[in-house]
Structure formats: structure tokens, C-alpha cells
Structure 1
Amino acid sequence: MSAGTGAYDESYRRSLDDPDGFWLEAAAAISWTRPPTRAIDASGDPIFRWFPDGELNTAYNALDRHVEAGDGERTALIYDSPVTGTGRTYSYAQLRDEVATFAGALASLGVGKGDRVVVYMPMVPEAVVAMLACARVGAIHSVVFGGFAPRELAARIEDAGPKVIVAASCGIEPTRIVEYKPIIDEALTIASHRPEHTVVLQRPQARADLGDNDLDWTELVANARPVDPVPVAATEPLYILYTSGTTGRPKGVVRDNGGHAVALAWTMRNVYDIGPGDVWWTASDVGWVVGHSYIVYAPLLVGATTVLYEGKPVGTPDAGAFWRVISEHGTKALFTAPTAIRAIKKVDPDAAELAKYPMDTFRTLFLAGERLDPETYHWAHEHLDVPVVDHWWQTETGWPIAANPRGLEPLPTKPGSATVPMPGWNVQILDAGGKELLPHEEGAIAIKLPLPPGALPTLWGDDQRYIDSYLKEYDGYYLTGDGGYIDDDGYIFVMGRTDDVINVAGHRLSTGSIEAVVAANPAVAECAVIGVHDALKGQLPRAFVVLKAGATVTDDVLRDELVAAVRREIGPVAAFRDVSVVDALPKTRSGKILRRTMRGIADGRDEPVPSTIEDPAVLDALRPVLRG
């Protein structure tokens, strides 16, 4: 596989041929208390460890070393909160001091190396402080998305067994205040594990009533003494992040300290072209993997400035929120989900809001989280006039599997493609029997072991479950659960989850391919295509379409246009004829469309409201349509 003959091709091939040499060289970008002498430990195959003899502290690498290098006055974090009408900036020295003090507060509660701390907070600077403070004392944080329901929070408390919970009194959404303390209290009645303390950051929008084991953040910090970073083995866990939507015991993805730091530092420079002093905005939440990797750790590891945004940055009436933040803070690059751009396109199809804001510093738009349809790609590229880079990765991988390495060697972009595999990711397309397929043949996307540093080494407390969940299907491979193909140039096209492949009268079709055709219609803002049961053909594709603001096409005309387009682009074999125009699509808080839930309802199952859903009313409104 080759996408070029320059720096990318050389780096990619070296990472596979000489992983020890490649990653030890990359490890030189990190400050170690004991530098590693070897990169990979394969003695536990298929459980691999990275930098087994190395020792470091991640928080030191994110903060202290920049201060010690004379860059303490550089801006580390910009807090932008339209929902409270406030903002703050933190220099590296200020953030280091706050982290060191809160780390001292945790230490005063007995939190130390290997202890777990659940962080249940909204998008406030104290969430970042809490995460880095855990890393500073060698504790393992487990961030739970703020506002998660009590039962989901209880499951994570039960599995992680935290010594302390760190929380805020409330989160603020565009239309309501969500009080966190009652959720925590209810979760603790469900879980059998009992944390020793809950530390609560009191917010003026809704103060919490504190119980006997609860501590006020401000009071605790006022009496705390700063502590120095605690060195830990590179193979020790930095955090546990539970995958969303799980039932029963949740799957806790583990991230180690050493491999994580090395991989993320490499990606910021080589994938995102971000370095010291650059302003970088990841429009996500610290409760998701994107927030862990690219709001908190990666930008700080390389000395950049990270934007922490509290609020929903798109939607009526403020379609210009993204552009305001980029312009106001001098942002060089933005990382968000395609659904955010589709939402802007829906309410402001001509990008009139964009014209209000100077975008002189803006260089690249990075999109990930779900498939980027070509229509959204073209819209963003046309109006922003910067490279629009689709890239692909997962909670489990922690950083991009496939991307366009803008800092290493910018490559041509292709609509519909997540670009090329990054160093360390030996990506193959396999058929059902495990045979490697040829270019343009669609199958399961799998990755040859070992996975590179920064990927999950295992699941929390359960190596066998890790093997059974990810490594069992194909011997020697990690199964991504996504399907797609690789073209002649080595570009990866991710067409959707393998369970989004439908069987129409014996023909296997990707719903992602049909979605790409539907989304190309000029009246369509966003869409979802699912497979529904059909007595004759087994399954049939069904499209749910949200129109752009101001679209005047009638439902019947739109249906005829879409049916004709799918017939033309994919063929009559798709048997596509069912189109429903809806006001909105149900999504998770991270922007992913809940296709699996939609399929279940359409097939007659009594699907519960997922805990990750952004707005349950959208799903409730859609249920009659799905069942119709």
C-alpha cells in the first residue's frame, strides 16, 4: 500500500518494518524520568506493552516541562462559555499551579498511585485540572460524561472502584440546568462500591447540598499544598474510559501512560500540524475519547493552546458560533464531527454567518466521529476554502487509524475517504474467512497486531474479555467493527459499521454508500439510511432525511429524485424507494446518529431510550414514522 513516495511513505513503512526504531525515535519528544531502551514487549502476545522499561509522568509532560523551558506565560487553555457568558485563559504556569494544588488536595484524601478517581463534570476548566491532577499523583481517572443517567454512572463506579468522585454541582445546557449531585446520590444507591469522598465544585447556577462524605472543591483546595509529579511506569494506566451504549458490565478501555504520551505528541505535530503556541480547538466533550486525546492531553503535550468550549456550538439561532470562536481566538485548526457541519449547513446553507468573521488564522478543518458524506465535504471546502480532512479512529484506538498527515506530508484529499493509514496501523480488508482482499473489494476493516502505542492494551480488569471482544474473529488481527475498502492509492474508505451492511435479495449493500447518494441532493441537510425487514427481499434500505432551511421541494418530488439517483449511482439492485422527511435525527451527545436504535424500532422491537442520547424528544417523535 502506498499513497506517496515522500515522508509519509517512508514513515509508514518504517513503522511496520522497524517499530522499535520508529517509536523509540518518537519517544524522544517526551521527557522521561527513566528513558525506555526498547519500544515493544511482545512476551504476552496477543497482549502487547509499549516502552516496558520507561518511566514518566504525563502531567509533568503536559505542563511542568513547558514552564521549566521558559514558556510558563504561554497560553495553555482558553475557556469559552457562552452558556454562562464567561471566559478565562490560563497560562502554562497558572494551569500547572492549579493542577499541582488540586493534586495535593487529592493526596490529602489518600489518593495515590494506582487509585481510581471518577470525574463527573461539565466542560469547565476544573475538569481538565482534575484529570491532570490524577495523572500528577499517579492515580487513574475515569471521566464519565456529565449528565449521564444514574444507572450508567453506577455501572462505571462499580467497575472502576474509585476512591474519590470529583464532580460539579451542575451542568448547563442551552435550555436547562442539569443538577449532578442528585444523579450521583442515586447512582451510589445502585452501586455496591462506596467511594470515600465526593468533591463538588459548586457552580452558582445550581448549588448542591453536601452530605457527610462530600467536600467543597474551593474549601478543599484552600487548605491543600501543591505536590510534585509522581513518576509511574510507562505501562501503568493513565485512565479508564468506558465505551458508551454498553449493557451489563461496561467495557473499560485502558490507556497507558507511556504509549499514550508518545503517540499523541506524534499526532499533533505530524497529523494535525500543531505545535508550540498554535491555537487548537476540538469541539467535543472531555467525557469522550476525542476530549481526552485532543482537548486535554495532545495539545498540552506539544505546548499548544487548547480551547475548552462550554455550550452547543451550532444550531438556531447561532449558526455562526463556530466561526466566532475560530476568529476570536485565532484558531489554526478545528476538529469536530461531520454532524456539526451538517447542522450548520442546514440552518445556514449559504454560509452567510461565516462572512461576518475574519478567518485569517484558520488553516484546516478536521472531521471524525462518523462517516463524512461527500456533500458535506464539498460544502465545507467551498465555503471555508481550507483543506477538509476526514479521518477515522475509535475510542479503543485513542488516535487516528487513518488520516491525512498534514504536518508530515500533506496528501491530496478524496471525498468519502478517511485518507491513508497512519504509522503503526497495518490496515487490511478481510473477507468472512479472513482472506486479505484486493483494492476496491469491500469487507471488514481489521488491523494486524500489534496495535501501535496509544491504542488500548486491554480492558480494565479483564484481558480475556479484551481478547474475546476484539481479537477472536480473525487470528492475529484487531477487528474494528467497521467495513470498507482500500483503493489503488492506499486510501481507506470507511463505509460504516459492519452491522450497517444490509442484504437485499442476496446482495450485500452498504447503507453508507446509499447515504452518500442521498446526501448529495441539494435539498438534503443530513440523512440516515437503515435496513428494515422485508418478507420478500430480506432487507430493504429506508432513508430518513432532514431538509436544509428554506428548501422548497415537496416530499414526493424529493423521493423521486432520490430513488432515481440511487438507481443511477448504485443500481436497481438496491431496491431503494422508501424516503421519509423528518424534522431531526436522533443523535448521541457526541453527534453520532443512533442508527442501531432506529433499526430496532423499525423492526418492531421496544427499544429503550439510550443513555447517550442528546434529545429524547427527537427519538419519541420519530418512533411512529419508524414503525409506519
Structure 2
Amino acid sequence: MIAPELQESGGEYRVIAQRSRDDREGFWLEAAARIDWSVPPSAALEERSETEWRWFPGGRTNVCANALDRHVAAGRGDDTALIYDSAMTGTRARFSYAELRDRVARFAGALRAVGVAAGDRVLIYCPMTPEAVIAMLACARIGAIHSVVFGGFAANELAVRIQDAKPRAVVTSSGGIEPNRTVAYLPLVRSALDICGGGASSVETVIVHDREAVPGSAADYAEDREIAWHDWASLEADAALADPVPMRSEDPLYILYTSGTTGSPKGVVRDSGGYAVALSWAMRNIYDFGPGDTIFTASDVGWVVGHSFIVYGPLLAGGTTVLYEGKPVGTPDAGAFWRVLSEYRAKILSTAPTALRAIRREDPELDALAGYDLSSLRAVYLAGERMDPETWHWVNDGLRVPVVDHWWQTETGWPICANPLGIETLPAKAGSTSLPMPGFDVRVVDSTGRDITAPGVEGNIAIRLPLPPGALLEIWGSRQRFVDSYLSAFPGYYATGDAGHFDEDGYLFVMGRTDDVINVAGHRLSTGQLEEVLTAHPAVAECAVIGVHDDLKGQRAAGFVTLKHGETVVREELAGQLVRLVRERIGPVAAFRDVTIVDRLPKTRSGKILRKTMRQIVDGEPYTVPATIEDPGVVDALIEALAATVSAPATQTVAVPR
């Protein structure tokens, strides 16, 4: 929801957005009627205080039953629910709604057999295989709270999550498969348990899916007298089918730790009823998705995108979801995504901008599209990192479908801003996340929390409380930490941590994290604004801009760029061209003169560029590489590139192989 003084775009959207403001209770109770309740809620919202609220009080439901059982009961048990496609092993598999329900019910029974009950936590540490989805839904079926940890996380990071969530059981696999290696999970699990104190930890049981491609099984740890290690298949074979357990709307469905946490993890708590209602509304109204449709969400179940739009959202909507194990490039080439979209006739591609930038770097002319039929594709949705306008135009012109750069966070669970294609297709604006969705009262405030929302005025993006259904209720184990982390900076608001502005049509432009704003001699410049300019250069594939210390101006902007494959440039010439571009489009106030060419940028596995870490390296400050980094070796390469830039001759030629 946007400020009333801003002009709203779109007729149908305007009517729906207005109703969500004027009749919040009726709007969300009507949305809640689209899922099944064993006990209907008595109201839409219960506000307990300014910082505490609950959605659909009194209601009881089961998210797994809504995702699976009700579709079978409606006569669609033979419809495909889940497609598994592994580019790593060549495995393909399909699960109907009836088949997936039975697999989930069986594994839910297996969890019960080892003592897991409603309210217990289960930590899931699996690769992108069907077992990860089955384990998540099985927990939801019996009311256990799952916490999915990205497969391959280091033992220490796994340990701190175990210590925080205190799970009764761990569900894992023998390992994961990367393009050039396998990652054995069981030694990491064993090490994490040892860090937690072995039998002194909360974990009583480890359930292992034995994956043929990766050595290791529960039998390797059979002599462990402190923790019971079970083989998944054997445990499942003896288990009875478990029925869904009705849960209170406010009961936690899962805990998801935000990326980048170290030492003191921050577990976002998602409720059951509010989340199911929000995702049902979003799938229908934002994504225009329902029975008969297929979505390919190129993410991981360890991230919020995987939770909401690989697993729960598509299944709540009764459609087909694709679970893909592979990369956007290199498995085997830059056409990997196009193959999946074509083979499964997907209507929607949802991915991170970094994946598209990787494809663009490998295949700038989209030659790999040839031979693939993408006539079923209706839209591309992007999230996780700001989409630069240059790449937006590239994919928009290349695929010729709406490209929606929508904005949301682990904490919100579903889009804050989007182009709601299920309501109407609004005009797209490169660089904008489009319009706020019902329930999100998005404002721009200054450093004191004063509302400064007006066209073109940049500041801190905040959301007026209460947050809508589906957003986090608290941080696991500490309500005060929730308040301190998100609600105290601007009383009455949720602080998003992002900076940006609205335009005259009410479109929101998210320009970067608030700590990525550069202050050059008193002038505030956003990294996103500068990065837009750099990526406009035809040789640049991807870039990151950071603010580095300057004795005179306080900070100055420094750019790090990767080149498109096949490009050959003279370093000093490229730097000069980029400096001129910034001066032409931003002005000399940016004081932009530093350009470093790198092979890759340091990123988290979810695609976020580690700008803070880069700034600390450049400024010579102590830094810690986050556990979520995709490739720790990139940091060493970055340091080498900085050294080479300082010592390199002006005529140095830099070539990127095709």
C-alpha cells in the first residue's frame, strides 16, 4: 500500500488496494476463505500491542493438508504436483498430488515413530532432492516446526543453528553434488553435533537419506550411543501413514535463519495460518498461477524463495512446481534454464538477478535460446538482489514476456512490491519494484523516523505496522530481539534496512541497503544508482560499487566490474570510459575514479553481493567472510585483483575468454 498523496497506477489494482486499506478485516477474511480450516478464524487480526499482533485468531488449519490433501479430495490427485530435475545426475521424476501426499504422510509417520511431535523442531539439511520437500511437508503435517539449513553449510554454522533451534531430530542426506565435486554431509553433521556436545545437545535422532552418488550412510554411525542414526528408507518402510494435525493459525510452521548470520543466528518465525493465506493470495493475484500451471523457481529450499515459491506457494495453489538441482550456467551450459522451461512447459520463471547476469555474461546474445520452445512462458519474476536496468532490458527484450523485479525479504515471506499480473498487467519500469501489495503500507522516512514520503524523495524504506499475514511474528527464542532488530529504529514501523524512493506514479525504487549509501562530501549517493551507470557499458557484465574511505571527502565511490565473455579491453581505457559515464549521468559530485576488473564478485549463495566485506577489505579493516558466501576463494582473488590494479601499467589489456 502506498501513500495516499501518491498517484496509483492501474484500475483493478487501485480498487483492490483501496479495499485492503478501507476494509482490512473483510479483505483478509475473504482471502482466508480460499484455504481450508478445521476451525474458521473468529477475526482477521488481533492487535495485542503496537509491536505484537496475530492473524486469524481462533482459526485451526494444517498447511500440509492445504498443500496436498485438499487437492486430492477435489479429484485432482493425478495432477502433477512436483517435478524433480537433476542436471547433476540426469535424474528426472514426477510426483502426482496423491503420490506426494502418501510419501509425505509416510515420512510424517516415520518422524512420529522416532518421537517427533507437534511443537518439536526438526532441522533439515538436504540437497535439492525430493526428500527435502517431503521432509518439510511431513513436519507441517504433524505440527513439527522445521528449520531448513542450506545443504553444505559448514559444521560450525550448522551447530549454532542446532543450539538455537534445539531440534529433536535432524533429517539429512549422504551429500550434495556440485558441478566439479561432491559434498559429504554426514561428517559435517557429526562435527556439528560434536560442537553442540554430542548427547548433551537436543538432537536425539538423525535420519539419513542414502544417496548413491555420494558415499556415506546411517550405518557408518551405528555405534553412536548418544544419538540414534536411522536410514530413511528403512524407517519409512515400517512407518504408518500420519494424518494432518490441526494447528492454531499462530503456531509456528518453520524457523528460517537469515543469510549471513554468524555466532548469534537470527531465526525468523513464520506462522501457519497467516502464511498459507498470504501465499494463496499471492499465487493467484501476483503470479496468476493455479491448477494446470507450472512454475520453475530457480532457487534452493534453504532460502525463503524456496520455502515460499518452490514448496508451499505452488502446492497451495494446486499447480506444478519444478525442483531443479543444477546451476544457471555450466550444467551443462548457459541454456540450462531454457531447457527446463521448455521441457516442462513452465508458465513462470522465478530466479535471482545474479543468475540472469551469469547467463548474460556467458551468452550475451542469447544464442542458447535457439532450439527451445518458450511459448508457454508468461512472466519472469526476480528477487534477492536489485535488478540493474541494463540486465532487465536484456532479458525483457530477449524473452519478450513481462519481467517483474519484485521486492521482498526473508522476514516478509512474500512480495512487498510487485506487478500483480493476476490482477492486471501494469506498465513496467526498469529499476523499479513496481507497486506495494495489499497489506504492506510502505513509507519513506528520514533518520528520525519522520515520514517524508513524496515523489523523488529518497530515504529509509519502512513498513507501517502491523505487518500483513505471512510476515514474521518474532525471532525464535527472543521477542525482544525481534523488537530491537526491526521495530525500534522507527517506532510504529518495520525497518526494512533498504533505501529508496517513490516516483510520481507510486512506483517504488529500491536503491540498495541503507548501509550501502555512500556519503561523498555530504552528498548521499546510492550504490544502485551508480551501478546502473556502470552496467550500461557494453563490455560490463556485472558490477558492484562500494564507498571507500577518503581523507578529504569522507568517502568516495569505487567500482568493481566483471566483463562479458569474449571482451578484450585496455584496463585504463575502460576505467576512463566508466568514469566519464558516471560524470555524465551522475555528475562530478560522485568523485568516481576507481575501477577494478575482477573475474567474479563475492556473493552469498542466494546472490547478494558482499559489499560490506568488500569495503572492509579495501579500507584495510578487519573482516569476517560470511558462512553464506558462495565461493570463499573469490575473496582471495579480489585481494589479488586490487593489488594488480594498483601496480598494473596503464596499457594493460584484460581479456575474458569465450
Q: Do the two structures share a fold, i.e. TM-score over 0.5?
A: yes
**Alpha-carbon contact 1:338-1:370 (below 8 Å) kept:** yes
Q: Does 1:161 align with 2:166?
A: yes
Report the Cα offset of residue 98 of structure 1: 0.1
Aligned partners of 2:349 and 2:10: how far apart in 1? 28
Report the Cα offset of residue 356 of structure 1: 2.1
2:326 corresponding residue in structure 1: 311
Q: Does 1:210 align with 2:214?
A: no
Q: Does 1:499 align with 2:515?
A: yes
Q: 1:199 aligns with which of 188, 207, 215?
A: 207
Give the secondary-structure state (helix, strand or coil) at the position aligned to 2:623.
Answer: coil
Aligned partners of 1:234 and 1:376: how far apart in 2? 41
- Output the amino acid matched with 2:160: A
Of the structure 1 ranges 595-604 and 284-293, higher mean CA displacement relative to structure 2 is found in 595-604
2:505 corresponding residue in structure 1: 489
**Alpha-carbon contact 1:167-1:199 (below 8 Å) kept:** yes
1:101 corresponding residue in structure 2: 106
In the TM superposition, 1:214-363 aligns within 5 A as 214-315=229-330, 318-363=333-378
In the TM superposition, 1:404-483 aligns within 5 A as 404-437=419-452, 438-483=454-499
**Alpha-carbon contact 2:328-2:358 (below 8 Å) kept:** no
Aligned partners of 1:30 and 1:148: how far apart in 2? 35
**Alpha-carbon contact 1:188-1:194 (below 8 Å) kept:** no
Residues 145-167 of structure 1 deviation map (CA, whole Å, 9 limit, x = unaligned): 00011111101100111010000
- Output the amino acid matched with 2:482: Y
Aligned partners of 1:153 and 1:14: how far apart in 2? 44
Aligned partners of 1:191 and 1:340: how far apart in 2? 36
Report the Cα offset of residue 3 of structure 1: 2.6
Q: 2:574 aligns with which of 558, 561, 584?
A: 558
Q: Does 1:83 align with 2:56?
A: no
Aligned partners of 2:559 and 2:285: how far apart in 1? 38
Aligned partners of 2:623 and 2:641: how far apart in 1? 14
Aligned partners of 2:459 and 2:244: how far apart in 1? 46
Q: Does 1:41 align with 2:57?
A: no
- Output the amino acid matched with 1:532: V
Report the Cα offset of residue 316 of structure 1: 7.7
**Alpha-carbon contact 1:315-1:347 (below 8 Å) kept:** no
Aligned partners of 2:478 and 2:56: how far apart in 1? 21
Aligned partners of 2:170 and 2:7: how far apart in 1? 48
Residues 269-312 of structure 1 deviation map (CA, whole Å, 9 limit, x = unaligned): 11111111201011000000000000000000010100000111
1:397 corresponding residue in structure 2: 412
**Alpha-carbon contact 1:2-1:9 (below 8 Å) kept:** no
In the TM superposition, 1:346-385 aligns within 5 A as 346-385=361-400
Aligned partners of 2:123 and 2:382: how far apart in 1? 29
- Output the amino acid matched with 1:84: T
Report the Cα offset of residue 195 of structure 1: 0.5
CA RMSD of aligned residues (A): 1.1
Q: Does 1:121 align with 2:129?
A: no
- Output the amino acid matched with 2:398: H
Aligned partners of 2:370 and 2:380: how far apart in 1? 17
2:97 corresponding residue in structure 1: 92
Of the structure 1 ranges 602-611 and 295-304, higher mean CA displacement relative to structure 2 is found in 602-611
Report the Cα offset of residue 64 of structure 1: 0.3
Report the Cα offset of residue 462 of structure 1: 0.8
Residues 187-227 of structure 1 deviation map (CA, whole Å, 9 limit, x = unaligned): 11112423010000000122232333100000000100101
**Alpha-carbon contact 2:329-2:336 (below 8 Å) kept:** yes
Q: Does 1:59 align with 2:46?
A: no
2:656 corresponding residue in structure 1: none
Aligned partners of 2:622 and 2:195: how far apart in 1? 24
Give the secondary-structure state (helix, strand or coil) at the position aligned to 1:397.
Answer: coil
- Output the amino acid matched with 2:328: P
Give the secondary-structure state (helix, strand or coil) at the position aligned to 1:48.
Answer: strand
Report the Cα offset of residue 597 of structure 1: 1.1
The unaligned stretches of length 5 or more in structure 2 are 1-5, 647-658
Aligned partners of 1:389 and 1:296: how far apart in 2? 20
Aligned partners of 2:563 and 2:10: how far apart in 1? 43
Aligned partners of 1:247 and 1:361: how far apart in 2? 42
The unaligned stretches of length 5 or more in structure 1 are none
**Alpha-carbon contact 2:9-2:506 (below 8 Å) kept:** no
Give the secondary-structure state (helix, strand or coil) at the position aligned to 2:270.
Answer: strand
Aligned partners of 1:269 and 1:52: how far apart in 2? 24
Number of matched pairs: 628
Residues 317-364 of structure 1 deviation map (CA, whole Å, 9 limit, x = unaligned): 500001000000101010001111111110111000012211110110
Residues 400-421 of structure 1 deviation map (CA, whole Å, 9 limit, x = unaligned): 0000000012110000000000
Give the secondary-structure state (helix, strand or coil) at the position aligned to 1:334.
Answer: strand
1:619 corresponding residue in structure 2: 635
Of the structure 1 ranges 91-100 and 247-256, higher mean CA displacement relative to structure 2 is found in 247-256
Residues 500-553 of structure 1 deviation map (CA, whole Å, 9 limit, x = unaligned): 001111111111100000011111100001111111111111101101111233
Give the secondary-structure state (helix, strand or coil) at the position aligned to 2:474.
Answer: coil
Report the Cα offset of residue 5 of structure 1: 4.6
Aligned partners of 1:552 and 1:246: how far apart in 2? 39
Aligned partners of 1:488 and 1:428: how far apart in 2? 14
- Output the amino acid matched with 2:418: A
TM-score by length of 1: 0.99
**Alpha-carbon contact 1:316-1:347 (below 8 Å) kept:** no
Give the secondary-structure state (helix, strand or coil) at the position aligned to 2:567.
Answer: coil
1:181 corresponding residue in structure 2: 186
Residues 27-71 of structure 1 deviation map (CA, whole Å, 9 limit, x = unaligned): 011000001120101023311100011000000000000000000
Aligned partners of 1:506 and 1:584: how far apart in 2? 31
TM-score by length of 2: 0.94
- Output the amino acid matched with 1:40: L
**Alpha-carbon contact 1:601-1:626 (below 8 Å) kept:** no
**Alpha-carbon contact 2:456-2:504 (below 8 Å) kept:** yes
Of the structure 1 ranges 85-94 and 354-363, higher mean CA displacement relative to structure 2 is found in 354-363
Aligned partners of 1:363 and 1:236: how far apart in 2? 36
- Output the amino acid matched with 1:575: A
Aligned partners of 1:369 and 1:50: how far apart in 2? 26
Aligned partners of 2:308 and 2:168: how far apart in 1? 24
Aligned partners of 1:61 and 1:626: how far apart in 2? 53
Give the secondary-structure state (helix, strand or coil) at the position aligned to 1:540.
Answer: strand
Aligned partners of 2:18 and 2:481: how far apart in 1? 31
Give the secondary-structure state (helix, strand or coil) at the position aligned to 1:286.
Answer: coil
1:512 corresponding residue in structure 2: 528
Aligned partners of 1:299 and 1:491: how far apart in 2? 27
Aligned partners of 1:91 and 1:210: how far apart in 2? 34
Give the secondary-structure state (helix, strand or coil) at the position aligned to 1:356.
Answer: coil
Q: Does 1:543 align with 2:543?
A: no
**Alpha-carbon contact 1:598-1:626 (below 8 Å) kept:** no
Q: Does 1:170 align with 2:175?
A: yes
2:649 corresponding residue in structure 1: none
